[in-house]
A and B are shown apart, each in its own frame.
Chain A
Amino acid sequence: MNLPISADLLRNPEDRRRFLEKCAKVAFGLSVLPAFARLASAAEQKSAVKAPNAGLAGFGKAKHVIFLQLNGGMSHIDTFDPKTGPSKGPGEIVSAKGDMQLTSFLPETAKVSDKITVIRSMTAKVGVHASAAYLMRTGFEQRGSVQHPTLGAWAQHFLGSSHKTLPSSVAVNRSSNHGNGWFPAAYSPLPILNPDDGLLDTKSPVSEAVVGKRAALLAQLDAGFGGKAADENVKAYNEFYETTFQLMKSTDLKAFDLSAEPAATRARYGKGKFGQGCLLARRLVENGVRFVEVAHGGWDMHATLDDRMEDVGGDFDRVFATLIQDLEAKGLLESTLVVVATEFGRKPSFEGGGRGHHPLVFSTVLAGGGVRRGYVHGASDAKGYAPAADGVSPGSLHATIAHAAGLPVQTEIMTPAGRPMEIGNRAKPQIGVFS
């Protein structure tokens, strides 16, 4: 087939779509993208962002996302997808609110389970921690050749900054680790490694007068290299310096200060890094930050699963339930989507006192941001070995979160290297989880 179309058309995503449609018409005599065309017309009516998914349930309800990452691989069978028979773990099955069953390791979560959606049919192929964590964080399998962005960066691309001085994305208890992907470095989440410390070094050790004089001199002396910089990375640092100067003067900084929280609230979240991290996430969301990741370690339970579910699982259980209740009490739950993600599940069988890595089926949780309350989406088979029917891929989970956040899914953008990309690697959102 020889098409009279210039190669330039392939560069621009809009033109590329026309090209594809043209190809499709030439090949089949009709467009292969009817669904797209329908969605697109709905988008034009309802939203300024041309999102093909804009007309569907749940679109744009989540103004904020709190993305909890349980590192090590949470055992689905011992938490949100309990099993009887040989797969059963040390925890008992308990009936929880919202007509679902959980294990006895999650007593507090059972009290708020009428506010959450559990997805029990997550499925992936990667069973190695780092690569699987990457997949769950970005929705893409790790490649040597491209760094994929987090949803926070995608959101900043499509929706702009969420606040004039505060960052649009924050990563708590973890490093930012290329969170901007191929987007500008300024889209990288701001890392807060210790929530108790909040944002470090926000006050200058010298007097305000000296700070002012230093800043003035800095602007003068940097006019040569920094000022007329043609280099993108230098410009990015100019922006970082500018933002930092603004931030230091701004009262918004108290968003990072947990000491401003009542002692009782801090106590409810527990003293741990995860608890305080979730409290910080709530404060940030309250103050206008769009996307907050909070990491929780210790889930790689190859041995002594029983004890570690008590410790690590117990910590998660109390904090998660507190976060949901707190967001609800503050009227933030409907505008904030809380995601519980983990890199994979764990095997139905025991090896020693624990379970091995198991990406084939596992569970994630969504709460708030317009998702259904007290709902179980999908199922695993009787053993907890594989999805009972069609599974939900990490890419699809990402498309679902993106949909809730009002981002256009199944919409191509071009990376700076000229590769076409879509949120969640072209997967579709699970519209069924939205009320």
Chain B
Amino acid sequence: MTLFSRLVLVSCFVWAPWADAADKKTAKKAEAVIKAAPVATRPVAAIADRSAIWHTWTDKEGRKVEAQFCGLSGEFITIQTRDGRTFHFKTDILVPEDVVFAKQCLDRSRTNSFSREIIASAAADVDKLVVATLAANQQTLNAPATDEEFLRRLYLDAVGRIPTAKEADAFLTSAAPDKRAKLIDELVFSPGYSMQMFNWMADLLRVKDTFGKGIPAFTFEDWLKARLAANTPWDKMVFEMVTADGRLCDNGATGFMLFDAEMPLDGVSNLMTTFLGTNMACAQCHDHPLADWTQKDFYQMAAFFGATDGKDEGVLREINRVAKADSAVNKASVRKIAEMNAFRLNDGGKQSLTLPKDYKYKDGKPGDPVAPSLIAWSKADKSLPAYNVSTKNPAQLRDEFARWLTSAQNPRFATNIANRVWKKAFGLGVIEPVNDIDDLTQASSPELLAHLTFVMKAAKFDLREVQRVIYNSKTYQASASPTPDLGKAKYLFNGPIVRRLTAEQAWDSLVVTAVGTYADNVLLRRGDDIKVMALPAGKVTMAEVRNAIDRTKKAFAGSGKAGGKKASGGSTMGLANGYEGDKPVSRFSLLLARASELPQPSAETHFLRLWGQGDRLLADSATNDGSVPQVLQMMNGAVGRLVSDTRAEAVMAAEAVKTPEAQVRSLYLSFLARRPTPTELTAAKASLEGGLALTDLAWVLANTREFLFIR
């Protein structure tokens, strides 16, 4: 089934957006609106500005759909229809005018970002503050990083992988004085940026293929990918996740909240940790022993979710009831359909949270109803306009909470994400641990943290813009420090710290040495496959249940083929149908797609998990611990074979040049993004003459500590 017909099929299923008659007028009008819009000098006009523009897209067969442009990444476009569904497909199915239009939309979204001058001055402000803090402690910034260090670090941070030999060479040989700023902009607007951001957020938001008892949650993954492709600001994304309604199979944004549908109180403490860096987990059961939070505080916050329900028991019962009468139908299939359709977020008319049975404090009795009330970190907080929420309408409580949560005035929302983004680039937050920032005075530099919070707000939560600022700073472009001993002294950011590659960075880098940039265009989107499991709203009949079962069978037919081998990761469900455009190459039972385009998370034996990809049960569960099995896999396992294979892109690039010197240089560029030193060149050449092949040299370079670390 082609992508496009899949799109149509899914769209028609609940709602048919494709109109019969062409409406060129609308398209023209939309184009005019885009062209006439003023070029913003401020960062990123909010997504709302762009989304006001509706466009009727036409494919080469003349079919039409009205939708708004969300993003264009390489050859892939993402659009959103009026019912909130997002679609993602290759632009080559569209009529040429619409391809041009999509590019114009993209250009406009770029001109919405800060100019280079503004970015440079914002970066200089950060540097000023860091340098002053260092000076006050008789320290200085580290020496500037070399072009080679900067190049590799930036690729890994901005697009999640090392550069190819070609990409590295292009940068290193460029004489342009602004080549660093140029590369930053090139990378943050390339497809790899979204992939890298996905990995980072997947760990934070606990993105998992299956929720609860095996309910597939691919729609959440697709939603996140679509938002990242559109560069939706963080506050808008969080607002959408926290307020999302409806079934998971219809609305992927519900995924975040539904993850904890069975344990709503945990959901609240997870939400507080993820979005505010507030550690209320202990207060869930008793007054927090170290922080100020009381159990009452926790329950008052949880009360904002006291009218929210994560499971539609009515639908569940109804489906099971109609299915009981049909003895021929497969019970397991019915259960799957029932669970999927019952998995939804809804706000009822009553907020019913009460204090727990073992409540032991004087300010309430077990079983007392709890009134929603917001926590504050200081007395002054409560007078902020953001605290002005209405708790009258239970059905609106979640929205009210989300408005407070994502407000720029929220005392921790901007700081939390600013600190996390900083850590992503420097290896250490300004305040650690990043999931417990209640006491801001614990920051290594409270002034720097405050300034980053300011930058985050000024950029209107556009994480790409904030990262542009960071990457352009001298602080980021300084050479790296060894991991500091925080027990001895605060780290004041003389530069980034030496970091082991994340599991995803390591994997994606190995993939690029094997298949080059090919994997950048291999995209996994499986949400459509589970959308077919949805029953039409309000229609529980056996015929519909059977239809849903049939559709599901069809959608998942062939799963596990097309490289979806067991070794590639956990759930291979829908993997075969899920790849759009280019299909991944498979070697040594490894599916060579980027980490973001593989099962979430991968199977426990997969390279990614072995190197610390989180299990996604808790937020921030990724690690960078070392282990002997990691090393065994790199040396002797499938991954060791992959890098030292004659088909590997890096090896072939070296084969293509003639002299041994050039071959060694080529492999150094491929693996370490630098040229070899004279000593290294001599040693490598000698070993090639002494019987080792280029594949062996590739193996050696992949096994250096230098390959594993960002310096």
Q: Say whether B618 contacts A213, CB under 8 Å.
A: no
Establish whether residues A194 and B605, one from each chain, have CB atoms under 8 Å apart when the complex forms.
yes
A186 to chain B: which residues have CB within 8 Å?
626
Residues of B within 8 A of A216 (CB): 687
Provide the bound-state CA to CA distance between A218 and B273, in Å.
43
User: Of B436, B618, B627, B628, which one neighbours A145 at CB under 8 angstroms?
Assistant: B436
A210 near B705 (CB under 8 angstroms)?
A: no
B interface bracket (residues with beta carbon within 8 Å of A):
35 or more
A201 engages B605 (CB within 8 Å): no
- Contact across chains for A244 and B632 when beta carbons are under 8 A apart: yes
CB proximity to A under 8 Å, residues B692-711? 692, 696-697, 699-701, 703-706, 708-709, 711
Q: How far is the CA of A388 from the CA of B285 in the complex (A)?
A: 23
Task: Evaluate contact between A221 and B704: CB separation under 8 angstroms.
Answer: yes
**Choice from A125, A188, A231, A238 contacting B482 with Cβ under 8 Å:** A231
- Can you name the residue of chain A whose Cβ is closest to the Cβ of B497? A231
Within 8 Å by CB of B690, from A213, A226, A231, A418, lies A213
Known: A185-B625, A240-B628, A417-B487. A234 touches B705 (CB 8 A): yes
User: Which of these binds chain A: B23-31, B592-600, B635-643?
Assistant: B635-643
Interface residues contributed by chain A, number (CB under 8 Å): 63
Cβ contact within 8 Å between A221 and B482: no
Interface check A142, CB cutoff 8 A? yes
Contact status of A232 and B636, CB under 8 A, knowing A130-B617, A226-B704, A243-B628:
no
Residue B586 interfacial (CB < 8 Å): no
In the assembled complex, the CB of B698 is this many whole angstroms from the nearest CB of chain A, namely 10
Q: What distance in Å separates the Cβ of A16 from its nearest Cβ neighbour in chain B?
A: 14
Contact A185 B633 (CB under 8 A): no
Minimal beta-carbon separation of B76 from chain A (angstroms): 34
Q: Tell me the smallest distance from the CB of B564 to a CB of chain A, in Å.
A: 20
Measured CB to CB, the nearest residue on chain A to B641 is: A205
A200 at the B interface (CB under 8 A): yes
CB-nearest residue of chain B relative to A134?
Answer: B618
Q: Which residues of A164-195 have CB atoms within 8 Å of chain B's CB atoms?
A: 167, 175-178, 180, 185-186, 188, 190-191, 193-194
A159 located at the interface, meaning its Cβ lies under 8 Å from any Cβ of chain B in the complex: no
Are B628 and A128 in contact, with the CB atoms below 8 A?
Answer: no
Q: Determine which of B266, B482, B623, B691 lies in contact with A213 in the assembled complex, contact meaning CB atoms within 8 Å.
A: B691
Mark the stretch among B334-342, B548-556, B571-579, B677-685 that contacts chain A.
B677-685
CB-contact partner of A210 in B436, B499, B692, under 8 A: B692
- The answer to whether the Cβ of A144 comes within 8 Å of any Cβ in the partner chain is yes
Distance in Å: Cβ of A277 to nearest Cβ of chain B: 14
Q: A205-B641, A214-B700 are in contact. Are A200 and B615 (CB under 8 A)?
A: no
Q: How far is the CB of A418 from chain B (nearest CB, A)?
A: 5
Closest to A236 in B: B626
Report yes or no: A214 in contact with B699, Cβ–Cβ below 8 A: yes
Residues 233-276 of B, flagged 1 when their CB comes within 8 A of A and 0 if not, give 00000000000000000000000000000010010000001000
Residues of B within 8 A of A158 (CB): none
In contact, B633 and A201 (Cβ under 8 angstroms) = yes
Question: Do the beta carbons of A200 and B691 come within 8 Å of each other?
Answer: no
Are A416 and B485 in contact, with the CB atoms below 8 A? yes
Cα distance A433–B238 in the bound complex, in angstroms: 52
Central interface residue in A144, A186, A188, A416, by most chain B CB within 10 Å: A144
Cβ distance B660 to chain A, nearest Cβ, rounded Å: 14
**B504 → chain A closest CB, angstroms:** 17
Interchain CB contact under 8 A, A125 and B285: yes
B684 neighbours in A (Cβ, 8 Å): 217, 221
The yes or no answer to B526 lying at the interface (CB within 8 A) is: no
Give min CB distance, B677 to chain A, whole Å: 7
The chain A residue sitting closest to B668, CB to CB, is A221
Are A240 and B630 touching (Cβ within 8 A)?
yes
Residue of A nearest to B621 (CB): A177
Report yes or no: A418 in contact with B632, Cβ–Cβ below 8 A.
Answer: no
Chain B residues with CB below 8 A from A248, complex form: 632, 636
Decide yes or no whether A47 CB sits under 8 A from chain B: no
B709 touches A244 (CB 8 A): no
Is the C-beta of B474 less than 8 angstroms from some C-beta in chain A?
Answer: no
The reply to whether the CB of A222 lies closer than 8 angstroms to some CB of chain B is: yes
Shortest distance from the beta carbon of B149 to any chain A beta carbon, whole Å: 11
Are A226's CB and B706's CB within 8 A? Answer: yes
* Residues of chain B with a CB closer than 8 A to A247's CB: 628
**Cross-chain contact of B604 among A175, A240, A415 (Cβ < 8 A):** A175
Given contacts A144-B435, A214-B696, contact A233 B498 (CB under 8 A): yes
Q: How far is the CA of A222 from the CA of B299 in the complex (A)?
A: 55
**Min C-beta distance of A291 to chain B, whole Å:** 15
Within the complex, the shortest CB–CB distance from B246 to chain A, in Å, comes to 27
Within 199-215 of A, Cβ neighbours of B (below 8 Å) are at 199-206, 210, 213-214
Kindly report which residue of chain A lies nearest to residue B588, judged by CB atoms.
A205
Greatest chain A CB density within 10 A among B483, B629, B683 is at B629
Cα–Cα distance between A177 and B612 once the two chains are bound (Å): 8
What mask results when residues 488 to 503 of chain B are scored 1 for a CB within 8 Å of chain A, else 0?
0000000000111000
Contact partner of B628 among A190, A226, A233, A417, CB < 8 A? Answer: A190
**Contact partners of A230 in chain B: CB under 8 A:** 482
B662 at the interface (CB under 8 A from A): no
Closest Cβ of chain A: how far from B544's Cβ, in Å? 27
Contact across chains for B498 and A231 when beta carbons are under 8 A apart? yes
Closest to A225 in B: B706
Tell whether B175 is near chain A: CB-to-CB under 8 Å: no
Measured in the bound complex, the distance between the Cα atoms of B483 and A232 in whole Å is 7
Q: Which residues of A contact B633 (CB under 8 A)?
A: 200-201
- Least distance between A58 CB and chain B CB atoms (Å): 31
- What residues of B have a CB within 8 angstroms of the CB of A193 in the complex? 604-605
Q: B631 at the A/B interface (Cβ < 8 Å)? A: yes
A414 and B266 CA atoms in complex are apart in Å by 31
Please report the C-alpha to C-alpha distance between residue A185 and residue B636 in the assembled complex, in whole angstroms: 22
A342 to chain B, nearest CB (A): 18
A201's partner among B281, B433, B635, B711 (CB-CB below 8 A) is B635
Verify if A220 is at the interface (C-beta below 8 Å from B): yes
Closest to B638 in A: A201
Q: Which A residue sits closest to B708, measured CB to CB?
A: A237
The one of B483, B499, B636 that contacts A204, using a Cβ cutoff of 8 Å: B636
What residue of chain B has the Cβ atom nearest to residue A213's Cβ?
B692
Compute how far the CA of A247 lies from the CA of B635 in the bound complex, rounded to whole angstroms: 13
| Chain A: CB-nearest residue to B697 | A217
Q: Is A78 an interface residue (CB 8 A)?
A: no
The CA of A243 and the CA of B635, in the complex, are separated in Å by: 13
**Interchain CB contact (< 8 A) of B637 among A176, A201, A217, A416:** A201
Ranked nearest first, the 5 interchain pairs of A and B with the lowest CB-CB distance are: A226-B705, A201-B637, A225-B706, A231-B482, A201-B636
Pick 14 A–B contacts, CB within 8 A, sort by A.
Answer: A144-B279, A145-B435, A145-B436, A203-B636, A217-B683, A217-B697, A221-B680, A229-B482, A232-B482, A233-B626, A240-B630, A240-B631, A247-B628, A248-B632
Name A residues whose Cβ lies closer than 8 Å to a Cβ of B.
Answer: 125-126, 128, 130-131, 141-145, 167, 175-178, 180, 185-186, 188, 190-191, 193-194, 199-206, 210, 213-214, 216-218, 220-222, 224-226, 229-234, 236-238, 240-241, 243-244, 247-248, 414-418
Given A185-B625, A231-B483, 15 further pairs, Cβ under 8 A: A125-B285, A128-B263, A144-B436, A178-B623, A190-B628, A213-B696, A216-B687, A221-B684, A225-B705, A231-B498, A233-B498, A233-B500, A233-B709, A234-B705, A240-B626
Which residues of B approach A to under 8 Å, CB–CB? 263, 266, 273, 279, 281-282, 285-286, 433, 435-436, 482-483, 485-487, 498-500, 604-605, 609-610, 615, 617-618, 623-633, 635-637, 640-641, 677, 680, 683-684, 687, 690-692, 696-697, 699-701, 703-706, 708-709, 711
